[in-house]
Amino acid sequence: MRRTLLWCVLFLTALAAGQGCGPNPEPDLAATLFGAARTAWLAGDYPKAEQDYQRYLRDFPKAPERLEAWRRLADIARDVRGNPGEAASVLESALLEFEKNRAVRDDLAAAAGEAWLQAKQPARAAEHLRTLLAGGSLPPEGRVRISLQLAQSLTMLEDVSGAETALRLCHQAGPTAAIAAPCSLRLAAVLLEQNKPEAARSLWKAVYENGTIDASFRAAAGFALGEEAETRHDRKAAQTWYEAVREIYPNPAVIEKKLEYLRH
């Protein structure tokens, strides 16, 4: 209850800070308190760091290091207490304060979406992830990462069709096949789960055959084709694919075991 009330106070302070309200900070006191919080953080004294960061946010609504304070409080909630849901709530409070700063807002929204995913709250994660994708300001790599997380959220919500749509948009909107390769691989897996093996094989083959794509993704595609062939009891095709990725697969011992099994 006490922690909930504290976050309510910080939430209102963030709202006031974002609207430019509140008294001017006292620079010396603010800097001293922030320095103490950072020192405690670096020393691993997380209870003191948390206390000082919270006080900094509460007492100095116009202080210059507020973003770092919000981030450290989220880090403590997620990494020290193991509570990603609390971390997401902290980040959402920070979002209120920085909603007019697009770059910071997007970064906080992405972090909040990831934290809600870790907290197994896919619906709340999807809200942030959809907003980020709709904003159109993400760099290509960021768009791929957010699309994959949105697909994961929708899969957790048993919205397989929505996950497929998100991955198709990522696959099609990628500026290059190399950047969009993770979306292509995940889309192929989703298609296979929906009993669409031909479409899945087509995507995996496209990834494997594209020399501009990172070898790790090409190896994953070839390995998936080998496994899919095994499920169809096509031992010859499976052996062909495993031999094709032998030199680029990150764990050669796995490939050797697969081939040894297929030879007997």
| pLDDT tens digits for range 117-172 | 999 999 999 999 999 999 888 888 999 999 999 999 999 999 999 999 999 988 77
Q: How far is the C-alpha of 151 from the C-alpha of 106, rounded, in Å?
A: 18
pLDDT of residue 3: 57
Residue 84 lies in a domain: yes
CATH number (domain holding residue 16): 1.25.40.10
Are 154 and 127 in contact by the 8 Å Cβ rule? The answer is: no
Average per-residue pLDDT for the chain: 90
What total of structural domains would you count in the chain? 1
Instruction: Give residue 11's pLDDT band: very low, low, confident or very high (50, 70, 90).
Output: low
Model confidence, pTM: 0.83
Residue 167 lies in a domain: no
Given a cut of 70, whether residue 4 has pLDDT beyond it is no
State residue 16 phi and psi, 5-degree precision.
-65, -40
Instruction: Give residue 108's pLDDT band: very low, low, confident or very high (50, 70, 90).
Output: very high
What is the rounded average pLDDT of the residues 183-210? 96
Selection from 195, 200, 206, 147 nearest residue 173 by Cα: 147
Residue 221 lies in a domain: no
Given a cut of 70, whether residue 1 has pLDDT beyond it is no
pLDDT of residue 176: 84
What is the rounded average pLDDT of the residues 85-109? 96
DSSP assigned state of 213 = S
pLDDT of residue 66: 97
Given a cut of 90, whether residue 211 has pLDDT beyond it is yes
User: pLDDT (tens digit, 9 = 90+) per residue, 34-82?
Assistant: 999 999 999 999 999 999 999 999 999 999 999 999 999 999 999 999 9
All residues at 6 or more sequence positions from 11 whose CB lies less than 8 Å from its CB, including other chains:
93, 96
pLDDT of residue 25: 47
Residue 54 lies in a domain: yes
Q: How far is the C-alpha of 38 from the C-alpha of 73, rounded, in Å?
A: 11
Residue 158 lies in a domain: no
Residue 190 lies in a domain: no
pLDDT of residue 184: 94
pLDDT of residue 136: 80
Given a cut of 80, whether residue 198 has pLDDT beyond it is yes
Residue 127 lies in a domain: yes
Which domain does 75 fall in, by range? 1-137
Residue 86 lies in a domain: yes
